[in-house]
Structure 1
Amino acid sequence: MGIPEYRAVFLAHSLSLLGVVVSEIALSVLVYDLTGSPLLSALTFAVGFLPYLLGGTLFAGVADRFPARRVLVVCDLLCAACVAVMALPGTPIGLLLALRCALAVVSPVFQGTRMATLADVLGDGDLFVLGRSLLRIVSQSALLVGYGCGGLLLTVLSPRHALLITVATFLASALLLRLGTRRRPARAGRGTPADGPLTGARRVLADRRTRLLLLLFWAPPLFCVVPEALAAPYADRIGAGSTGLGLLMCALPVGTIAGELFAGARLRPATRERVALPLLCFMLLPYLGFALAPGLGWTLCLLVLSGAGNAYTLGLDQWFVAAVPEELRGRAMTLNTAGLMTVQGVGMALAGVAAQFAGVPATVAGAGLLGTLVCVPLALAARRGAAPGGALRKNERPKCETGLTTM
């Protein structure tokens, strides 16, 4: 936090995240008030996931083709404009959902550009890993307190008035980024000519090592979200009530925060990289305990333990920023963000379908087993890319103490 540019990015992230949380709650309530349909109310959350894939593929090149500061400010202004239209009286339901989709299309471009900017501000080393970890911790913390505060906010404001708060947070974020970060040239001009967005995405995915790293980021969240998606029916099954449901929703974020804080503060960079793959292999195993349909206390322990395994991303972050060429870094980060959100949406949908036939405990336990069977081969493939003792092979970039060679 001692770097002024990072402080500006951090504060802008916090403000825009607050706005997103408030808008999700307010929009969901607004749609339900207008339609009385639980399905359409839930759909306002669902449409926030899958459009990430569209934005992350079609517009990934924007992150590198234009100066990063300009991209970040324009994205914030576009989001503010979309939410402002949502807040207008008489906005029809179809337009509300379309604008929600538009936010989800813009979001991966913004997030990918911001993460690439962190590498410019903090460098490619341990400061980048810790800085990105801190942003993730803020995101998880927002999930813990944001929804509760948003619910309280709606007791004194109408949903449309609450949306105006989101507009203000996006505008404040744009102002912070415009005044608090330095203008840098477009990355595509630093080493290679600018190309089309799909061409840029293909260039990122053309490298087998980068594809493997992206899979290491994407595979666990596909299965991790299953307990969250099924928290309400599971709370009902064990008789936990609304208070228990709130605790179940908080358990994974609490574990994630604890794991990342411990790894970031107490482990050396080389140690974080060494434990990344073991954590990847074991983080979903606690879900197997759901086969016994445990009570609330044991369930919370299982979820916190699994959430702590997300500390594997600290080691993976270092490999990723070292593996991707600088001129493609914005596109790579954008694709990563789009993939993360998309697989979470898919995971939630599949969890609901499976629970209809197998029941909630069996579905969560099955996600733990299947997820482990997916993650272990990926970890072994990554391990084969590292030379004994953590030394890198000659065609690996020298910025990472333990890394992956071209597969």
Structure 2
Amino acid sequence: MTTLKPPPVQGRYRQALAVAEFRALLTALILSMLGQNGMLLAINVLIYTGSGSPLLSALAFTVSFLPHLFAGSLLSGLIDRLPQRRLLVAGDLLPAGLVTIMALPGMPAWALLATLFCVNLPVPLTMGVRGALVAELLPREGVIAGRSLLRVAAHTSQIAGFAVGGALVAALAPRGTLLGSAAVLGCSALLLRRRLRHRPRRGGRPSVSLARDSLRGAREVFSIPGLPGVLLFFWLVPFFVVWPEGLGTPYVETLGRPPADTGWWLAALPAGTAVGELAGVWLIAPHRRRSAARLLAAAGSVPLLGFAVRPDLPVALVLLMITGLCSAYTLAMDHVLLDIVPERLLGRVYGVNTAGLVVTQGLGFAAAGALAEALAPHLVIACAAVSGLTLTLLFRPAELTRKETRR
């Protein structure tokens, strides 16, 4: 029988930052995201300048996300089978080595995409470990603030990774940027090894195969009442929101601007997202976050309607930032998970959620690239706006519509 858990209490960022191991986890995430996003921009530019195809360029994003489907479904059991620090360190060291290989001259596009697939295999596992580790490191009232800080750090690092990556691509060329990204990933692994203490694995001695254990865990996750609908909502909304990111390089080219400006394009949406997350924690009362989720998600699609007139880059960046501001709807997810998920399944749920979220984003990139083969990039983005609005107005998960009492 599942026991009811007390409702989460609103925490503040300073509660999370007061814990030394959380600060190390946060700093390592920033370094890891800097390296991965700089690498992704370099690969995107490398493939597009070599092929001239919007579809292949968008596939660089898609391929970076598809490993989540495989790792999230068949390897998620590693979250409980391996010590947390070991899994986090390996999750940075393996990509660092592979990114170094990608910097070798003469690699064809298919080899770059195949290596990119392998680089991202550890990501859903490390995200699941971080989510569970935050719940261990912080008092209950600080968990929501801690997870919010991780998202803000990820988005801020995405901004810096794309912006600095754009400058490095212009100064060092894509392959020099790849080597710099590998070095940053190595620094993240070293920090985790030195600043996180060793913890034994969360699960006991495994009695079944890794794949069977992972699939069994996924079945447990989707059997939690009310959770599947919420997960689906938070996966489908970003499916359309990421379309502009997948079309950054071809859109910038249609404006007659240099490829390095793609870095500013890719930084605009996460910049708004980081500000929106901070504002959401400070301004939206905890008992109102669920009811505000659908409204904010719908509002995020409205600015993208402006792309129907093909705005110049400064206006386009503003529209993307406004869309990002509405991302505070994700705060509702943290409340739902702490309310309805048993503590023993938190790591698995965070892993499954990350895998599903990133897979749908990858499919969104692919859909945007495929449509851009037939339509101009600005029209594809306008189509994403209409589709996103329709989804958020018609889809009503029960856990996001029920009344909440003031806490």
Give the TM bin, normalised by the shorter chain.
Answer: 0.7 to 0.9
In structure 2, C-alpha distance between the alignment counterparts of 1:15 and 1:347, rounded to whole Å: 26
Q: How much has 1:342 moved relative to structure 2?
A: 1.4
TM-score of the pair, normalised by structure 2: 0.81
Q: Which of 172, 197, 202 pairs up with 1:187?
A: 202
* Contact 1:81–1:167 (8 Å) recurs in 2: yes
* Contact 1:61–1:197 (8 Å) recurs in 2: yes
Matched, 1:204 2:211: no
2:336 counterpart SS class = helix
CA 1:69–1:322 in structure 2 vs 1: closer, same or farther (change >3 Å)? farther
Matched, 1:23 2:39: yes
CA 1:228–1:30 in structure 2 vs 1: closer, same or farther (change >3 Å)? closer
In structure 1, C-alpha distance between the alignment counterparts of 2:99 and 2:250, rounded to whole Å: 32
In structure 1, C-alpha distance between the alignment counterparts of 2:148 and 2:321, rounded to whole Å: 18
Q: Which residue of 2 aligns with 1:395?
A: none
Matched, 1:129 2:144: yes
CA 1:213–1:351 in structure 2 vs 1: closer, same or farther (change >3 Å)? same
Q: How much has 1:103 moved relative to structure 2?
A: 1.3
Aligned residue runs from structure 1 range 79-228, under 5 A: 79-87=95-103, 95-125=111-141, 127-154=142-169, 157=172, 162-189=177-204, 196-228=213-245
* Contact 1:85–1:91 (8 Å) recurs in 2: no
Q: How much has 1:251 moved relative to structure 2?
A: 3.1
In structure 2, C-alpha distance between the alignment counterparts of 1:308 and 1:63, rounded to whole Å: 32
TM-score of the pair, normalised by structure 1: 0.81
CA 1:246–1:84 in structure 2 vs 1: closer, same or farther (change >3 Å)? closer
CA 1:52–1:245 in structure 2 vs 1: closer, same or farther (change >3 Å)? same
Q: Which residue of 2 aligns with 1:398?
A: none
CA 1:301–1:58 in structure 2 vs 1: closer, same or farther (change >3 Å)? same
Give the number of equivalent residue pairs: 385
* Contact 2:33–2:161 (8 Å) recurs in 1: no
Q: Which residue of 2 aligns with 1:305?
A: 322
Larger RCO: 1 or 2 (CA < 8 Å, sep 6+): 2
In structure 1, C-alpha distance between the alignment counterparts of 2:103 and 2:372, rounded to whole Å: 36
Q: How much has 1:32 moved relative to structure 2?
A: 7.5
In structure 2, C-alpha distance between the alignment counterparts of 1:62 and 1:105, rounded to whole Å: 12
The amino acid that maps onto 1:99 is T
1:265 counterpart SS class = helix
In structure 1, C-alpha distance between the alignment counterparts of 2:314 and 2:109, rounded to whole Å: 41
Q: Which residue of 2 aligns with 1:283?
A: 300
CA 1:210–1:151 in structure 2 vs 1: closer, same or farther (change >3 Å)? same
In structure 2, C-alpha distance between the alignment counterparts of 1:351 and 1:163, rounded to whole Å: 25
CA 1:322–1:173 in structure 2 vs 1: closer, same or farther (change >3 Å)? farther
CA 1:41–1:248 in structure 2 vs 1: closer, same or farther (change >3 Å)? closer
In structure 2, C-alpha distance between the alignment counterparts of 1:225 and 1:188, rounded to whole Å: 36
2:76 counterpart SS class = coil
Matched, 1:56 2:72: yes
Q: Which residue of 1 aligns with 2:14?
A: none
* Contact 2:38–2:181 (8 Å) recurs in 1: yes
Runs of 5+ consecutive residues of structure 2 not aligned to the other structure: 1-16
CA 1:300–1:334 in structure 2 vs 1: closer, same or farther (change >3 Å)? same
Q: How much has 1:368 moved relative to structure 2?
A: 2.0
Q: How much has 1:325 moved relative to structure 2?
A: 1.9
Q: How much has 1:179 moved relative to structure 2?
A: 2.7
In structure 2, C-alpha distance between the alignment counterparts of 1:72 and 1:331, rounded to whole Å: 15
Q: How much has 1:352 moved relative to structure 2?
A: 2.9
The amino acid that maps onto 1:381 is A
* Contact 1:284–1:372 (8 Å) recurs in 2: yes
Q: How much has 1:250 moved relative to structure 2?
A: 3.6
In structure 2, C-alpha distance between the alignment counterparts of 1:202 and 1:38, rounded to whole Å: 43
Q: How much has 1:380 moved relative to structure 2?
A: 5.1
The amino acid that maps onto 1:108 is P
Residues 74-94 of structure 1 deviation map (CA, whole Å, 9 limit, x = unaligned): 222322332344456777765
In structure 1, C-alpha distance between the alignment counterparts of 2:36 and 2:155, rounded to whole Å: 13
In structure 2, C-alpha distance between the alignment counterparts of 1:276 and 1:204, rounded to whole Å: 22
In structure 2, C-alpha distance between the alignment counterparts of 1:282 and 1:155, rounded to whole Å: 35
In structure 2, C-alpha distance between the alignment counterparts of 1:389 and 1:381, rounded to whole Å: 12
* Contact 1:133–1:314 (8 Å) recurs in 2: yes
In structure 1, C-alpha distance between the alignment counterparts of 2:44 and 2:174, rounded to whole Å: 9
1:183 counterpart SS class = coil
Q: Structure 1 vs Structure 2: percent identity of aligned residues? A: 39
> Is the deviation greater in 219-228 or in 301-310?
301-310
Q: How much has 1:223 moved relative to structure 2?
A: 0.7
